[in-house]
Amino acid sequence: MVNSSFLNDDTTIAAIATAAGMGGVGVIRISGPDAFPIAQQITQVKTIVSHRATLSSFASKDGQLLDKGLLLGFRAPKSFTGEDVVEFQLHGGPALLQTLLEEVLNLGARMAMPGEFTYRAFVNNKLDLTQAEAVSDIINASTKSAVINAANSLKGDFSNKINNLLKDLIDIRMYIEACLDFPEEEIDFIEKGQIKAKIESIRQSILDLNKIATKGQIIQDGFQVCLVGKPNVGKSTLINLFSKEDVAIVTDIPGTTRDPVRASISLNGIPINFVDTAGIRETNDVVEKAGIDKTKAIIERSALVIVLLDDEAEIKDYLDQNILSNDKNIIWVINKIDLSSTAAKVTNYDKNPLVYVSAKCNLGIDLLENEILKSFGLESLDANEQLFSSRQRHLEALKQINGYLFNALGKLEQPELVAEELLLAQKEMSSITGEFSTEDLLGEIFSRFCIGK
Ligand SMILES: Nc1nc2c(ncn2[C@@H]2O[C@H](COP(=O)(O)OP(=O)(O)OP(=O)(O)O)[C@@H](O)[C@H]2O)c(=O)[nH]1
Ligand SMILES: [Mg+2]
């Protein structure tokens, strides 16, 4: 259940902002009209100077000293949330932080909900919605590339691109609306305004943006790749090689792996969740059968399936048995080339790559890695390419916008319909940056944050 009850409340909120557990430093953050008075009572500092750190004592209501640390005050509107904000930087002990938080709550603050500080920053125009999402993305990023992309979004790269397109779109809409006031001349006006060329150009920019956003989303969320194949073909050897540790048991007994084995690795900065599965074969062993059923379910949920083979002839079996659906992203891999002295190489089988490797001897693995990246259009990830973190919600909005613009281009003879499609596209664009958003969407986005952020 999404809890969005905080959306219309501006009482003072507080939370422990650092991660649970012990640490060198622990931070309590307070935001709202009572933040300064509450901090003054706890620290006895008479005047908290904004944007200065003050070494202070922190005590309970009855005067019991609890810790010494730094007191930081940020007067509205120059703060993260845009409200008065105070932070206590204390020693990072859970009991200490909890005790002091209770003191803060007793003095009138209420416990902040997950994402509530960032939500207030959004409401007070400190961040737009994509930037607020980037705050969460930067915290959740699992690779350096994901961090950099989220930082680009936080800086406003994504929002700026959307806002520029939004401006162009509004210009065209206004022009058409103005033309509609002079019906006799309307077609002429539309031509004069080069409406077609302008809409096409926005649509192209949306398509380009979608490409970048898709890459950003993959880098942020990663994807699941499963290793399948007959027993003993070398799946577990391969996952161990990728993960650089023995996550799966390797033996020469067919049917060794039963439960799926997972390993998260970073390939060129992209988080990939590898899953090694039970080998697929006809069997009467109930345990092994259950493992094979799991394999099929994992194939369904994977963005890419790597099928390990002893030889090329096996491919036909997989295709005949319908284990892999047609639209699956597949890489065929012939393993154990060391036994036949075949060279590591990449060819293809129909539209899918066929890679020759030896998992045991680490031959051709670089080729395989490259094919994995290629299957997501990420092989030539240019270090200078400016990406940003993006989410499914953004990709869906871009798709919708593209659809509306496409419709508009098909209705150029009827300017009022073009104007309508452009208005729909405009609303969809604004939903990305949060200018027009429903409470449900906001609740959904902010409640996924951690507490204290
Ligand atoms: N020569 C050679 N042997 C290999 C290679 N890869 C794996 N093996 C051997 O093949 C046997 C089976 O390897 P596993 O990785 O357990 O195979 P698996 O596909 O996980 O098998 P199941 O879990 O039973 O489905 C082991 O003895 C491995 O050492 C390879 O590239 N070359
Ligand atoms: Mg195995």
Instruction: Give the pLDDT confidence score for residue 2 in this predicted structure.
Output: 42
Question: Does the CB atom of residue 57 touch ligand 1 within 6 A?
Answer: no
- Note the pLDDT tens digit of each residue in 248-273: 999 999 989 988 999 999 888 788 99
CB 359 near ligand 1, within 6 Å = yes
**Nearest 5°: phi and psi at 396?**
-65, -40
Burial of 121 (0-12, 13-18, 19+ CB in 10 A): buried
pLDDT tens profile 438-449: 787 888 888 888
Taking the mean position of all CA atoms in its chain, how far away is CA 410?
A: 34
CATH topology of domain 5-127: Gyrase A; domain 2 (3.30.1360)
Q: Please give the pLDDT value at position 383.
A: 63
Instruction: Quote the pLDDT of residue 185.
Output: 63
Q: Which amino acid is at 279?
A: G
Backbone angles phi, psi at 148, to 5 degrees: -60, -45
CB 433 within 8 A of CB 159: yes
Ligand 1 atom closest to the Cα of residue 253 is 24
Residues near 181 by beta carbon (within 8 Å), at least 6 away in sequence = none
- Model pLDDT, residue 317: 86
Ligand 1 center to 11 CA (angstroms):
62
Q: Is 218 in the pocket of ligand 1 (CB under 6 A)?
A: no
Q: Which two tokens stand for residue 183?
A: 């019906």
* Residue-level pLDDT at 46: 93
Residue ranges per domain, the chain?
Answer: 5-127, 129-434
CA of 301 to the centre of ligand 1 (A): 25
Query: Could you tell me if 150 and 408 are in contact, meaning their C-beta atoms sit under 8 angstroms apart?
Result: no
- Whole-number Å distance, alpha carbon 35 to ligand 1 midpoint, is 62
**Ligand 2: centre distance to CA 118 (Å):** 45
Residue closest by Cα to atom 32 of ligand 1: 336
Distances (CA, A) of 315 to 303, 319, 323, 373: 19, 6, 11, 22
Low-confidence ranges of the chain (pLDDT < 70): 1-7, 183-190, 192-193, 380-384
CATH classification number, 129-434, choose in 1.10.260.40, 3.40.50.720, 1.20.1250.20, 3.40.50.300: 3.40.50.300
Per DSSP, 183 falls in state: G
The residue whose CB lies within 8 Å of the most ligand 1 atoms, and thus the one to mutate among 250, 277, 355, 363, is 250
The confidence score (pLDDT) of residue 187 equals 58
